[in-house]
């Protein structure tokens, strides 16, 4: 099985799932904001009402006190005070009426909009969580419309796995209902999570999409970490293929893999681990079953098929690591970077690069500051690359060159760095780039900075 082939199949699916989960999260956030806005309006109305009552009471108390201190002028002052109170009440009532008029005007606008859009389509999409990709499921989808105390079922349909990643178009009358609730339940299955998503008609008119996720209530977690060991030194094995129960995962930059499945594995069930340059390895899946909250990753050591390349790189690390200022590494540049989810690191991390330039060719080594502090020369990535001819940036008229370099470390991990270099020479130029583990981006330059 070719790694690139498996990756090309899985990458679009993972990306689509990520976008759909993001949309589901946005819908949940919208529901929360609507509820907070409703509570805020009710509290404001209550505060205004209490203020009016409190001011009226204070005025009446003051009138009574004035009447006691000046009995001779009681009739005149009482009349004046009552007139003032009446004026205040009229003013406050005028303010309250203005507020309610604005609310009524807003309601009329919404009603007018509903009348203009008397019927619209709601798109209901289903997406599977990674833990149920290999499982068969059957479910019931109900869409319930609510107006006042009356509920009306406008859709009641049985669906199954064949409808995964599909979209149901549901016509809805905007003027007839207040809220729409989509309910996805599993009458015959116990381990699947029931989805219940209520949305207002006003929200659906603006955003006519409901995303329902097919997922497990309590999935079973399997996780581990792949390493290559040399004495006391451990090197993470990146981008290895791990197969468990027909589900495929790739290790990240930490060498970690993760599975969330419905069924518990027995001691006879095995994981298959494939990595270019290493022997295929089989491990009992049961050993790597953990609690959902666990952040511990047991290590699995892999064995190189051919250690010739490893010892060659190791010798290069020891030789060039001791004398990085050697003439073979003519220039040195540092570039601040930020990491994506595939590679962990501190915000102030950086790539330090020693390289030699000859024409359009670059070759040398680089390392991440965080990795180097832990593993010294074992963190080196040896690379070769090529730069384009000079071009002129139309925005600032500066000359720049694009470049691509391919690297490999002693654990046979491969990375690609792509970007641009502004300036006459790479060593003093302004670097901007992205780091990839095959086609998956791991890091990028945080900002373009002039190197000294």
Q: Could you read off the pLDDT of 178-235 as tens digits, one per residue?
A: 888 999 999 988 778 888 989 888 888 888 889 888 887 777 888 999 998 877 778 8
Q: How far apart are CA 70 and CA 338, in angstroms?
A: 78
Give residue-wise pLDDT tens across range 159-178. Answer: 898 887 778 888 887 667 78
The beta-strand segments (E) located in 251-370 are 256-261, 270-274, 281-284, 289-290, 299-301, 331-339, 350-358, 361-368
Give residue-wise pLDDT tens across range 382-438. Answer: 889 999 988 888 887 788 889 999 998 888 888 999 988 888 777 777 888 888 887
pLDDT-derived band of residue 368, with 50, 70 and 90 as boundaries? confident
Q: Are 421 and 431 in contact (CB under 8 A)?
A: yes
Q: How far apart are CA 307 and CA 313, in angstroms?
A: 10
Give residue-wise pLDDT tens across range 325-360. Answer: 444 455 556 566 655 544 554 555 778 888 888 888
Q: Are 366 and 384 in contact (CB under 8 A)?
A: no
**Would you state the structure tokens that stand for residue 125, as one six-digit string?**
């999409």
pLDDT greater at residue 451 or residue 390: 390
Per DSSP bridges, beta strands 299-301 and 220-230 are: parallel
Q: Are 192 and 216 in contact (CB under 8 A)?
A: yes
Distances (CA, A) of 65 to 54, 88, 300: 17, 19, 87
pLDDT, position 334 = 59
Q: Are 336 and 369 in contact (CB under 8 A)?
A: no
pLDDT beyond 70 at 3: no
Q: How far apart are CA 232 and CA 244, in angstroms?
A: 29
pLDDT-derived band of residue 375, with 50, 70 and 90 as boundaries? confident
Instruction: Cite the DSSP H helix spans in 323-406.
Output: 369-375
pLDDT beyond 80 at 72: no
3-class DSSP state of 360: coil
Residues 6+ apart with CB under 8 A from 230: 314, 378, 410
Question: Token pair 């509903």 is at which residue?
Answer: 114
**Would you state the structure tokens that stand for residue 74, as one six-digit string?**
């009681």
Give residue-wise pLDDT tens across range 194-207. Answer: 889 898 888 888 88
pLDDT-derived band of residue 106, with 50, 70 and 90 as boundaries? low
pLDDT, position 107 = 63
pLDDT, position 108 = 64
Distances (CA, A) of 179 to 109, 115, 145, 149, 247: 18, 16, 6, 11, 39
pLDDT greater at residue 415 or residue 1: 415
Cα–Cα nearest to 326, from 365, 280, 361: 365
* Class of domain 119-214 (CATH, top level): mainly beta
Cα–Cα nearest to 275, from 299, 239, 246, 301: 239
**Would you state the structure tokens that stand for residue 230, as one six-digit string?**
């040399």
pLDDT, position 62 = 80
Q: How far apart are CA 407 and CA 384, in angstroms?
A: 7
pLDDT, position 327 = 42
Q: What is the CATH number of domain 220-301?
A: 2.60.40.1120
pLDDT, position 7 = 65
pLDDT, position 130 = 64
Tally the residues of the chain: 452
% of the chain residues with pLDDT over 90 = 9
> Which residue ranges make up each domain of the chain?
29-115, 119-214, 220-301, 308-445
Q: Are 160 and 139 in contact (CB under 8 A)?
A: yes
pLDDT greater at residue 307 or residue 140: 140
| Average pLDDT over all residues of the chain | 78
User: Based on the number of CB atoms within 10 Å of its own CB, is 96 exposed (0-12), middle (13-18) or buried (19 or more)?
Assistant: middle
Cα 155 from chain centroid (whole Å): 32
What DSSP letter does each residue of 267-288 carry, written as one string? TT-EEEEE-TTB--EEEEGGGG
pLDDT, position 450 = 41
């Amino acid at each position: 099985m070719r790694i690139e082939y498996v990756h090309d199949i899985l990458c679009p699916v993972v990306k689509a799932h990520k976008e759909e989960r993001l949309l589901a999260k946005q819908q949940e956030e919208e529901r929360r904001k609507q509820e907070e806005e409703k509570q805020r309006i009710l509290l404001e109305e209550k505060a205004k009402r209490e203020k009016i009552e409190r001011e009226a009471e204070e005025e009446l108390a003051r009138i009574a006190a004035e009447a006691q201190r000046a009995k001779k002028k009681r009739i005149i002052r009482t009349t004046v005070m009552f007139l003032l109170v009446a004026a205040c009440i009229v003013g406050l009532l005028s303010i309250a009426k203005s507020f309610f008029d604005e609310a009524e005007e807003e309601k009329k606008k919404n009603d007018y909009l509903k009348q203009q859009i008397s019927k619209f389509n709601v798109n209901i999409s289903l997406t599977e969580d990674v833990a149920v990709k290999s499982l068969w499921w059957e479910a019931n989808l109900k869409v319930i419309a609510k107006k006042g105390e009356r509920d009306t079922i406008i859709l009641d349909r049985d669906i199954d796995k064949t409808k995964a990643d599909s979209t149901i178009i549901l016509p809805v009358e905007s003027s007839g209902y207040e809220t729409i609730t989509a309910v996805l339940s599993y009458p015959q299955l116990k381990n699947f999570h029931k989805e219940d998503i209520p949305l207002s008609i006003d929200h659906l008119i603006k955003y006519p999409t409901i995303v329902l996720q097919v997922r497990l209530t309590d999935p079973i977690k399997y996780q581990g970490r792949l390493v290559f060991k040399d004495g006391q030194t451990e090197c993470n094995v990146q981008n290895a293929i791990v197969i468990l129960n027909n589900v495929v995962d790739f290790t990240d930059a930490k060498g970690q893999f993760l599975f969330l499945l419905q069924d518990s594995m027995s001691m006879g069930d095995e994981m298959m681990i494939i990595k270019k340059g290493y022997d295929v390895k089989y491990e009992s899946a049961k050993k790597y079953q953990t609690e959902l909250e666990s952040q511990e990753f047991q290590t699995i050591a892999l064995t190189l098929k051919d250690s010739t390349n490893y010892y060659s790189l190791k010798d290069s690390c020891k030789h060039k690591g001791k004398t990085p200022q050697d003439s073979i590494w003519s220039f040195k540049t540092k570039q601040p970077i930020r990491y994506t989810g595939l590679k962990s690191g501190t915000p102030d991390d950086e790539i330090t690069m020693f390289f030699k330039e000859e024409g359009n060719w670059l070759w040398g080594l680089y390392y991440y500051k965080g990795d180097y502090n832990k593993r010294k020369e074992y963190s080196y990535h040896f690379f070769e690359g090529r730069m384009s001819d000079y071009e002129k940036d139309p925005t600032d008229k500066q000359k720049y060159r694009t470049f691509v370099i391919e690297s490999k470390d002693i654990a046979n991990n491969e990375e690609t760095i792509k970007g641009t270099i502004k300036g006459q020479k790479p060593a003093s130029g302004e670097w901007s780039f992205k780091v990839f583990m095959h086609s998956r981006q791991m890091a990028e330059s945080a900002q373009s900075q002039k190197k000294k």
